[in-house]
Amino acid sequence: MKDNLIEIGKLDIKIIDGDRGENYPTKEDFFENEYCLFLDAKNITSTGFNLSTTQFITQKKDNELRNGKLKRNDIVMMTRGSVGNVALFDEKIPFENIRINSGMIIIRCEGKYSPKLLYYLLKSSFVKKQINDMMSGSVQKHLTSSSIKQIKILKNYTSIKIDTIYAIDSKIQLNNKINSELEAMAKTIYDYWFLQFEFPNKEGKPYKSSGGKMVWNDELKREIPEGWEVKNLIDYCYLKNGINYNKEETVGEKYKIINVRDISSSSLFVNSNLLDEICISPNIADKYLVNKNDILIARSGSPGQVRIVSIKENMIFSGFIIKCEVKESKYKEYFIYVLKKIENLISTKSNGSILKNINQESLNMLKIVIPNMEIIDNFNRKIVSIHKKIENIMEENQELTSLRDFLLPLLMNGQVGFKEE
């Protein structure tokens, strides 16, 4: 295999930085719909592009920028944050004009090297390990152009076809789209029931618009349904900070660890497929274990972002994350969406300015509306069903990802013969 490897920098492949000069867009330059899509870190995930949220710049601003504009079949790689995540700008992406931000880089095949093959190789565990090795021991956790050029990939692929791997990846993308729609459905139910107060009344009709009684609450300075209470988060949840660890430690047992980047690169559930592993004493790890359906909140990086643990295995969480354990399990689904809904509030909950960190104290004092138990039970039945579908699709995606990652090394060894489309 080593004889058939070559560094990216030795091939006809360009590594292109974005424009970081004086014309780099500021907050005032972004619009909901304009000429050029300007990528955000959330748009580049472990499975490729996620364009559920977008921001745009005008054609005038686009013309002011130099490097950093995508061409079809370019690959975008994250160089900060979720380092190593890649996305392929193929014909499936419905935008013509796209630019990268300052935490990304463009990888462009100028010669005969297949962009699709390069994309799958960059997603493989073989390349991910190279990137992790480059990052270990580095104070600044980011990739440079020179380090990307040192990544080794397959040199000869004359008889390779990648349609099988492409089909697997397309199925993964379709599953991700279905899950995004399921997550949106759950969010809509929460909004309708607990923000608009249109949960079903005893006759099955929307409560508020059907004349349901609303009462003024002095703490919230607004009306809530009669019989509902207002409590602090601390009344219903235990909060715990994660562990500060040494990645280079080799003594102890292996545990997967959830870091902030694993929260920022996922949507509702943490993707346990891509977690780092560390060695740590079981006596210490036991204090930081996470359980299925635990709620995790990022303290920094993407402060306030909320995710759920989907799979029970030997997993712990890092010191830049707060675990929220709901005291009574019957309230867990409700609090997931309460916290998801107030992500923006959590992110701005310190000294009236945007936070770089959040803490237990600010979270504990959040005011939460508590519905009656009958409404909670009805909500749980709907949400648990949706979550189960999401988890089943995630499990299928993990199997598909394992199959794809199994095929790639065989391809690199020349043990399978593929023909490119």
Pair 314, 195 in one domain? no
> Do 90 and 73 meet the contact criterion of CB atoms below 8 Å apart?
yes
Has residue 215 been placed in a domain? Answer: no
**243 secondary structure, DSSP code:** B
Pair 289, 277 in one domain? yes
Which of residues 416 and 292 earns the better pLDDT score? Answer: 292
Pair 14, 24 in one domain? yes
Pair 142, 54 in one domain? yes
Mean pLDDT value of segment 148-159: 78
- Three-class SS of residue 281? coil
State how far the Cα of 259 lies from the Cα of 41, in Å rounded to an integer. Answer: 16
Tokens of 395: 């499990």
Residue ending a domain, among 124, 157, 190, is 157
CA 277 from chain centre, in angstroms, equals 18
Query: What percentage of the chain carries pLDDT values higher than 70?
Result: 89
What pLDDT is attached to residue 159?
43
> Do 70 and 98 meet the contact criterion of CB atoms below 8 Å apart?
yes
Pair 361, 255 in one domain? yes
pLDDT tens sequence across 361-411:
888 998 999 999 999 999 999 999 999 999 999 889 889 988 887 877 676
**202 secondary structure, DSSP code:** T
Query: What percentage of the chain carries pLDDT values higher than 90?
Result: 56
Pair 61, 187 in one domain? no
State how far the Cα of 351 lies from the Cα of 348, in Å rounded to an integer. Answer: 8
Question: In the block, which residue shows the tokens 């509306």?
Answer: 369
Has residue 69 been placed in a domain? Answer: yes
Q: Is the pLDDT of residue 356 over 60?
A: no
- Three-class SS of residue 108? strand
Consecutive H or E run containing 324: strand 321-326
Mean pLDDT value of segment 287-302: 87
Pair 172, 88 in one domain? no
State how far the Cα of 128 lies from the Cα of 121, in Å rounded to an integer. Answer: 9
- Three-class SS of residue 274? helix
pTM for the model stands at 0.76
**308 secondary structure, DSSP code:** E
Q: Is the pLDDT of residue 420 over 50?
A: no
Has residue 217 been placed in a domain? Answer: no
Q: Is the pLDDT of residue 158 over 80?
A: no
Using the CB atoms, write b or e for 337-368: b if 16+ within 10 Å: bbbbebeeebbebbeeeebeebebeebeebeb
CATH number at residue 77: 3.90.220.20
Pair 85, 105 in one domain? yes
Q: How many domains does the chain have?
A: 3
Has residue 213 been placed in a domain? Answer: no
Pair 348, 394 in one domain? no
State how far the Cα of 234 lies from the Cα of 238, in Å rounded to an integer. Answer: 7
CATH number at residue 204: 1.10.287
Pair 309, 238 in one domain? yes
pLDDT tens sequence across 166-206:
788 889 889 988 998 999 999 999 999 999 999 999 999 99
User: CA-CA distances (angstroms) from residue 332 to 328, 380, 391?
Assistant: 7, 9, 16
Nearest CA to 154 out of 165, 141, 143, 169 is that of: 165
Give strand pairing partners of 38: 99
Tokens of 420: 């490119």
Has residue 219 been placed in a domain? Answer: no
Give the model's confidence band at 352: pLDDT under 50 very low, under 70 low, under 90 confident, else very high: very low
Please report the beta strands in 327-412, taking only residues with DSSP state E, as ranges in sequence order.
Answer: 367-370
Q: Is the pLDDT of residue 318 over 70?
A: yes
Has residue 328 been placed in a domain? Answer: yes
**368 secondary structure, DSSP code:** E
> Do 70 and 19 meet the contact criterion of CB atoms below 8 Å apart?
no
Pair 341, 201 in one domain? no
Has residue 415 been placed in a domain? Answer: yes
What pLDDT is attached to residue 413?
58
Contacts of 98 (CB under 8 A, 6+ apart): 36, 37, 38, 39, 69, 70, 89
Q: Which domain holds residue 334?
A: 229-370
Mean pLDDT value of segment 302-329: 88
pLDDT tens sequence across 199-252:
999 999 999 999 999 999 999 999 999 999 999 999 999 999 999 988 777 788
Which of residues 360 and 416 earns the better pLDDT score? Answer: 360
Consecutive H or E run containing 258: strand 253-258
Has residue 221 been placed in a domain? Answer: no
State how far the Cα of 13 lies from the Cα of 33, in Å rounded to an integer. Answer: 32
pLDDT tens sequence across 68-113:
999 999 999 999 888 899 999 999 899 999 999 999 999 999 988 8
DSSP per-residue letters across 26-65: -GGG-BSS-SEEE--GGGEETTEE--SS--EE-HHHHHH-
For the ranges 257-261, 346-350, 366-370, which has the lowest average pLDDT?
346-350
Pair 18, 139 in one domain? yes
Question: In the block, which residue shows the tokens 């021991």?
Answer: 137
Consecutive H or E run containing 362: helix 360-364
What pLDDT is attached to residue 149?
95
